[in-house]
Structure 1
Amino acid sequence: MIAWRISRKISAALHQRRRRGAFRKPFSGTSAKRLLLLSIGERIPQSQIFPFHYYARDFRDALDTEIREVEISDYVAGLPDGPRDATTVCFQTPFDISDDELARTMAAIRERNPRARLAYLDWFAPTDLRMAHRLPGIDYYVTKHVLRDRDRYAETLYGDTTLMDYYGRKYDLPHDETRFPIPPGFRDKLHLGPSFVTADFMLPAFAAGQRPDGPRPIDLHARIAVGGSPWYEAMRAESLAAAESLPDTETVTGTGIGHHRFISELQQSKICFSPFGYGEVCWRDFEAVLTGAVLLKQDMQHVETQPNIFVPNETYVPLRWDLSDFEEKARWLIEDPAARDRIARQAFERLHDYARSGRFAAQMAPLVG
């Protein structure tokens, strides 16, 4: 664990040094295609960006593409001597970007990359497509997860996400109805990318293919933060209550610990209960798989991801959304080590295969042409 922490810190420091230096240089002109990433330098959006650098050799060798990255705020502000004349620009924006700021962003991208195809990278937690109608000039809209039934995007929600709709109705909360317009032809632009498996601390670990073994004295890991929006607080309080009500088990709850301890605990856990957050797909889903714990979560059949770790009773164990089967499912997993090993192993192998195969470059190949 100590060696892993040291290696992770060194790798992260080197990556950040490149982000401040080499990644911001002008294109060399030695490749036929030039991919510019305009990013947000925070943990969640960077999980979308990191794999482009991790597989940069695949992009260069298989797709004749060189890659640069600049924080989008610096680029819009007029970064001198930065990369320009890209053939593809992939860009992220803040969740709450205004119309005026979005217009300035698009103008800056177009002015310096007039012939580039444009791909928007939606890093947001919910499964909605709230930016679709605000980006008429893009060629691709890349999302980490999408509703399996695309027709549901035409429905009006009680709130602005599928989770707000369900829990707002369940707890009779005062939500406004919302429907984000989907422009004609938008589905042809929709492109499904990977989710949190591509974070900087997970992708190399999955590629190495070393699933942790050893004793797992913790039966159920359920460190669940509760505070937040009213619907979120109600949903998470319900999940925490379910975890704490499980009798005669070694259960870990509570919050306020560091990430290294969190990962260490998961490595010692049989089950990781990862309830919904502000979106259906969560960091903890992939951290559970990384550490060899069985993922226990509300049913995800309505969500499409790639690579998919939400195959019922094959790579995770689904729960009813009302958690009425929580004790039954948790008790089964605690008492059936063979089932736990099978599910945890299959989930890990799915992400290990994705990471080591380099499929990310092929997955993103349509963006660069």
Structure 2
Amino acid sequence: MRTITLIYDGTFNTYRWLKAMMWARNEFHDLGYKIKYASIFDYVPYPKSTKVPYEGIKLKWDTIGRFDIVFLAFHHSQSIIGQNSEKRIALVKSLKQKCKLLCWLDTADSTGTCLFDVLPYVDLYFKKQLLKDTNLYTNEFYCARLYSDYYHQKLGLTDESLASIHYHTALKEYLHKLRVSWNVAFYDRMGGKTWIYKHPFKFADPNVIESDSERTIDVHYGGSNPKVYGDVVGYQRKKMLELIMNLRDITHPDVYKKISREEYLEELKHSKSIASPFGWGECCLRDFEAFYNRAILLKPSMEHCVTYPDLYKPFETYIPINWDFSDFENIIKEVQIGKYDYVAINGQQNYQKYRIGINARKLFAEHVVDQLQIS
């Protein structure tokens, strides 16, 4: 029996994502792996995710002793270790001497914004979404994302603030260490904060809409303010707002109107399709809202990346949109006449298989264990 020890930054967001390991702990055990936190204190994340005042103290407790396999998860912008390269490298160097296999779990939302300065010192480096062509990681991207670089090159968009943040590129000799972890389909957000503290080994399951309710809304997009993301990273959200508002003879809610959470959820139940552009990263919680509401997911093409679970099968589980949005209006018209109704059903069934299906935990554990293999 091998042991995987989880060491994380203490933030609420990282805990809600890392919790998937505990959710499938029995299935890991069946595969010969015991899952544990480094200390009892790790069962209680700090509620304010952008500030963890005890991170240094927590690390002293968590890094005592020797380990078998270690999973390190520190957010690149919400933790001291994530923000400080010197302290980050010192941590991984120290732990490398105390364990048999050291794995860095990149908690960033995108295929980019990587902390590759740790690559020489860790055995494996996991990403939620990994570029299919890993050779691209040897290059720098504008605002550290492939899609933001695309809009910078194609449209000349700039963001001095985000562009000033430096992220390390990868040396080709370390690319073999890259692995796929899991995306935010495994992110405990349904039950709220009280649920999180009461149920350290469970996920709150979504309310799956399996009946064919009346779909009076052709396309739904309840996007957050694109200004939050800046002109480059937020371009897709801004463009989608403009395009939807200019559609004629297409039913959609007022994309700029603020409504309650209850009204929002009710609208989703009656939507034929849900549009979900990239934000800080490619995967979005709105993707999964489309799946469990049996709506057609409309999303900029995900063909550049691989992720787990594989929910993004073009024209099978979602409808890909060109990054330049040249096909957007035509796709909406095809949605309106029912051309892609089958995609809503396929997308939901695929989502259920990996997230709440009878074998979901087993599939998750098998994926992680498979990624741990070193050739």
CA 173–145 in structure 1, closer or farther in 2 if over 3 Å, else same: same
In the aligned structure 1, how far is the partner of 2:340 from the partner of 2:219? 15
The answer for the alignment partner of 1:160 in structure 2 is 144
TM-score with structure 1 setting the length? 0.79
1:240-280 Cα shifts (integer Å, max 9, x gaps)? 00111111232121365455543332222111010111222
Contact 1:294 1:343 in 2 (8 A): yes
Percent of pairs with identical residues: 23
Q: Secondary structure at the match of 1:142?
A: strand
Further displaced range: 258-267 or 296-305: 258-267
CA 324–368 in structure 1, closer or farther in 2 if over 3 Å, else same: closer
What is the one-letter code of the residue matched to 2:188?
D
The answer for the alignment partner of 1:238 in structure 2 is 239
Contact 1:88 1:368 in 2 (8 A): no
The answer for the alignment partner of 2:349 in structure 1 is 349
Cα offset for 1:366? 4.7
Query: What does residue range 171-182 of structure 1 map to in structure 2 within 5 Å?
Result: 171-174=155-158, 180-182=168-170
Gaps of 5+ in 1: 1-31
The answer for the alignment partner of 2:85 in structure 1 is 99
In the aligned structure 2, how far is the partner of 1:110 from the partner of 1:309? 34
CA 50–291 in structure 1, closer or farther in 2 if over 3 Å, else same: farther
What is the one-letter code of the residue matched to 1:85?
R
Q: Secondary structure at the match of 1:198?
A: coil
The answer for the alignment partner of 1:128 in structure 2 is 112
In the aligned structure 2, how far is the partner of 1:85 from the partner of 1:362? 25
Cα offset for 1:201? 4.4
Contact 2:317 2:346 in 1 (8 A): yes
- 1:247 is the counterpart of 2:248: yes
In the aligned structure 1, how far is the partner of 2:329 from the partner of 2:12? 34
CA 54–261 in structure 1, closer or farther in 2 if over 3 Å, else same: farther
Q: Secondary structure at the match of 2:236?
A: helix
Contact 2:114 2:168 in 1 (8 A): yes
Further displaced range: 251-260 or 263-272: 251-260
What is the one-letter code of the residue matched to 1:58?
E
Query: What does residue range 326-365 of structure 1 map to in structure 2 within 5 Å?
Result: 326-336=328-338, 339-340=340-341, 342-355=342-355, 356=357, 357=359, 358-365=362-369
**Match 2:3 to one of 30, 34, 49:** 34
Query: What does residue range 301-316 of structure 1 map to in structure 2 within 5 Å?
Result: 301-316=303-318
The answer for the alignment partner of 1:227 in structure 2 is 227
What is the one-letter code of the residue matched to 1:365?
V
Cα offset for 1:148? 1.4
Contact 1:76 1:108 in 2 (8 A): no
Gaps of 5+ in 2: 47-51, 78-82, 191-202
1:1-37 Cα shifts (integer Å, max 9, x gaps)? xxxxxxxxxxxxxxxxxxxxxxxxxxxxxxx332221
Contact 1:123 1:144 in 2 (8 A): yes
- 1:87 is the counterpart of 2:68: yes
In the aligned structure 2, how far is the partner of 1:135 from the partner of 1:259? 42
In the aligned structure 1, how far is the partner of 2:281 from the partner of 2:103? 22
- 1:197 is the counterpart of 2:177: no
| Matched residues, number | 333
In the aligned structure 2, how far is the partner of 1:81 from the partner of 1:324? 54
Cα offset for 1:81? 6.5
The answer for the alignment partner of 1:77 in structure 2 is 57
Cα offset for 1:84? 4.7
Further displaced range: 181-190 or 299-308: 181-190
What is the one-letter code of the residue matched to 1:77?
I
Contact 1:122 1:144 in 2 (8 A): yes
CA 174–269 in structure 1, closer or farther in 2 if over 3 Å, else same: closer
CA 101–368 in structure 1, closer or farther in 2 if over 3 Å, else same: same
